[in-house]
């Protein structure tokens, strides 16, 4: 599996890269030489003493942006996290998403709420990884708003991922 790498906010990650410019194609016959070359500089090039020389000069950027790609476990981790954070019915794909947010609106202090969230995450993980264990920890801030989040941890042989939901 290969996918775009995303930030924690879901934005696609771009990375810097250096463009490789230039092409050189040499064609030779027994009696003459034809040289076809590409250059991005305006510097004069040595002239062919025999045959025909065709030179094309173009302008290219030295650097740019490219989309960063994830694969294997990173792609699976990202897919699981996206699906857990997407409510069923939020996207046109009716089967994509989870029931985590329905459970998050229940009584925050009950162990049953935490277990319902864990089971929802586990059902998604089971679609991607066999024999994985999901554990969650409840985090509650000390402000008057009583904001609550859960930290989910997924463990399997050769696989580890954690995220906050």
**Res. 123 pLDDT band, cuts 50 70 90:** very high
pLDDT of residue 45: 56
The answer, yes or no, to whether residue 133 has pLDDT greater than 90, is yes
Domain boundaries, given as residue ranges, for the chain = 2-13+68-164, 20-60
Question: Any idea what DSSP says for residue 89?
Answer: T
| Phi then psi dihedrals of residue 164, to 5 deg | -105, 135
Q: How far apart are CA 121 and CA 24, in angstroms?
A: 54
93 falls in which pLDDT band (50, 70, 90)? confident
CATH number (3.10.450.40, 3.30.9.10, 3.40.50.150, 3.40.50.300) of 2-13+68-164 reads 3.10.450.40
Which pair of structure tokens corresponds to residue 52?
Answer: 């025909």
Q: pLDDT per residue over 18-28, tens digit each?
A: 655 555 555 55
Contact between 96 and 83 (Cβ < 8 Å): yes
């Amino acid at each position: 599996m290969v996918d775009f790498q995303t930030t924690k906010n879901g934005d696609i990650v771009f990375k810097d890269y250096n463009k490789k410019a230039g092409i050189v194609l040499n064609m030779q016959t027994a009696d003459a030489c034809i040289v076809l070359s590409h250059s991005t500089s305006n510097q004069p090039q040595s002239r062919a003493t025999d045959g025909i020389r065709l030179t094309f000069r173009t302008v290219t950027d030295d650097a740019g942006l490219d989309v960063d790609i994830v694969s294997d476990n990173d792609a699976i981790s990202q897919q699981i996290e996206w699906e857990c954070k997407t409510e069923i019915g939020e996207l046109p794909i009716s089967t994509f998403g989870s029931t985590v947010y329905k459970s998050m609106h229940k009584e925050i202090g009950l162990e049953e709420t935490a277990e319902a969230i864990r089971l929802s995450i586990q059902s998604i993980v089971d679609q991607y990884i066999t024999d994985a264990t999901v554990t969650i920890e409840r985090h509650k801030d000390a402000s008057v708003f009583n904001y609550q989040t859960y930290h989910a941890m997924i463990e399997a042989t050769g696989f580890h991922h954690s995220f906050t939901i």
